[in-house]
């Protein structure tokens, strides 16, 4: 039994079952034993690999998009360059590589990283030493200083706590985590969802109040003060029932209730819900479009060709594998989506359709 499981069991024994959202919050964010607060989970030696670590091409294309979005917004200066959940800092390092080719952009930005993990904040500082002292760390988005912003969130919303509701006798009842035969187990609690869709019995519907509230807050900031936001994550374009809660440990799927605090917990992002939240604040919402379409439209193949032009066969094979993983149907290309938020009247490429 992990130390966090002992703590969760004691909480349940004292107060009764907890919601799935509460369980996720404990597992990922407990100050002493939470998954993200106590370790570096990324890379081959961790539990999973994100797109910036697959290839520098991902971060370079995102960087080019940010520079273009800044100019589309009228090149405000100064402007806050914000990343939510920066991981090891690989994405921001690749953005800096692009920014060095746009000196006016580089002069305009101040860099703000939203990170709750001391372990990862230290790793980000090591990765981004070439930036010097111009980086600020914050515990939440609410702490970002006022002013226009350019925001990137890659694989951030999938780790925010979700609520799950199960269709039982024609109504949506909240799923909870309790104790059955002295083991953590899912059950049905008293909470209800009154405005859910019709669905067969046993169906599961997920909501992310935290994610939707954050999307609304970001959109309100963009509308009021200017800038743009780019959200990239795995998920679905339309709100639909389905149980997507998953745990990953050592690059393999695991039981979400086993060894709390020692596995990554996440759920697919409902991009339609994020879009509705952003539009409710008066923002323009662009996408979602698949990550594959986003990257290919912005020159992924051309960038891979340039990087491999004077390289050996092994390097070119690596670039091909990275391209397929980032944009291919069997990799991240279809499951991952990109969504942008701007003021009305702006249309950042390559988005052509709104949800």
Q: 311 versus 105: which is more confidently predicted?
A: 105
How many domains does the chain contain in total? Answer: 1
Q: Exposed, middle or buried: residue 351 (CB in 10 Å: 0-12, 13-18, 19+)? A: buried
For the CA atoms of 111, 58, 299, 304, what is the dihedral angle to 10 degrees? Answer: 130
Query: In CATH, what number is assigned to the domain containing residue 50?
Result: 3.40.50.150
Is 191 within the bounds of a domain?
no
> For 109-166, what is each residue's pLDDT tens digit?
999 999 999 999 999 999 998 765 589 999 999 999 999 999 999 999 999 999 999 9
Is 328 within the bounds of a domain?
yes
Is 5 within the bounds of a domain?
no
DSSP secondary structure letter of residue 159 = G
Instruction: Give the pLDDT score at 191.
Output: 94
> For 158-205, what is each residue's pLDDT tens digit?
999 999 999 999 999 999 999 999 999 999 999 999 989 999 999 999
Is 196 within the bounds of a domain?
no
Is 88 within the bounds of a domain?
yes
Answer whether residue 326 shows pLDDT above 50.
Answer: yes
Distances (CA, A) of 197 to 156, 170, 204: 27, 10, 11
Which of 168, 167, 189 shows the shortest CA–CA distance to 178?
189
Residues 6+ apart with CB under 8 A from 39: 46, 119
Is 190 within the bounds of a domain?
no
Q: 250 versus 176: which is more confidently predicted?
A: 176
Is 264 within the bounds of a domain?
no
Answer whether residue 59 shows pLDDT above 50.
Answer: yes
Distance of CA 288 to the CA centre of its chain: 14
Residues 6+ apart with CB under 8 A from 18: 8, 11, 12, 26, 176, 177, 178
pLDDT tier for residue 286 given thresholds of 50, 70 and 90: very high
Q: How many CB atoms lie within 10 A of CB 202?
A: 10
Average pLDDT, the chain: 94
Domain encompassing residue 298? 17-158+210-236+269-342
Is 193 within the bounds of a domain?
no
Instruction: Say how far apart CA 269 and CA 236 lie, in whole Å.
Output: 6
């Amino acid at each position: 039994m992990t130390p966090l499981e002992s703590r969760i069991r004691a909480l349940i024994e004292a107060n009764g079952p907890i919601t799935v959202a509460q369980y996720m919050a404990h597992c990922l964010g407990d100050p002493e034993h939470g998954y993200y607060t106590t370790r570096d989970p990324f890379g081959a030696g961790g539990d999973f690999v994100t797109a910036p670590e697959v290839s520098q091409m991902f971060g370079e294309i995102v960087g080019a998009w940010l520079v273009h979005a800044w100019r589309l917004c009228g090149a405000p200066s100064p402007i806050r360059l914000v990343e939510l959940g920066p991981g090891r800092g690989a994405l921001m390092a690749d953005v800096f590589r692009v920014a060095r080719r746009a000196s006016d952009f580089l002069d305009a930005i101040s860099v703000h990283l939203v990170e709750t993990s001391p372990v990862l904040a230290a790793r980000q500082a090591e990765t981004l030493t070439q930036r010097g002292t111009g980086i600020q760390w914050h515990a939440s988005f609410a702490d970002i200083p006022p002013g226009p912003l350019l925001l990137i969130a890659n694989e951030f919303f999938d780790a925010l706590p979700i609520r799950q509701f199960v269709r039982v006798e024609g109504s949506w009842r909240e799923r909870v985590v309790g104790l059955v035969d002295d083991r953590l187990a899912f059950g049905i609690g008293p909470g209800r969802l009154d405005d859910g869709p019709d669905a067969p019995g046993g169906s599961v519907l997920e909501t992310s109040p935290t994610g939707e509230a954050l999307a609304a807050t970001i959109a309100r900031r963009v509308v009021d003060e200017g800038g743009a936001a780019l959200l990239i994550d795995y998920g679905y374009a339309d709100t639909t029932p389905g149980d997507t809660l998953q745990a990953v440990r050592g690059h393999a799927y695991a039981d979400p209730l086993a060894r709390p605090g020692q596995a990554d917990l996440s759920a697919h992002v409902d991009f339609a819900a994020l879009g509705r939240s952003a539009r409710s604040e008066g923002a323009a919402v662009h996408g979602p479009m698949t990550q594959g379409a986003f990257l290919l439209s912005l020159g992924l193949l051309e960038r891979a060709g340039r990087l491999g032009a004077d390289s050996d066969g092994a390097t070119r094979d690596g670039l091909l594998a990275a391209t397929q993983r980032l944009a291919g149907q069997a990799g991240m290309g279809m499951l991952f989506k990109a969504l942008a938020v701007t003021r009305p009247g702006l249309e950042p490429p390559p988005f052509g359709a709104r949800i």
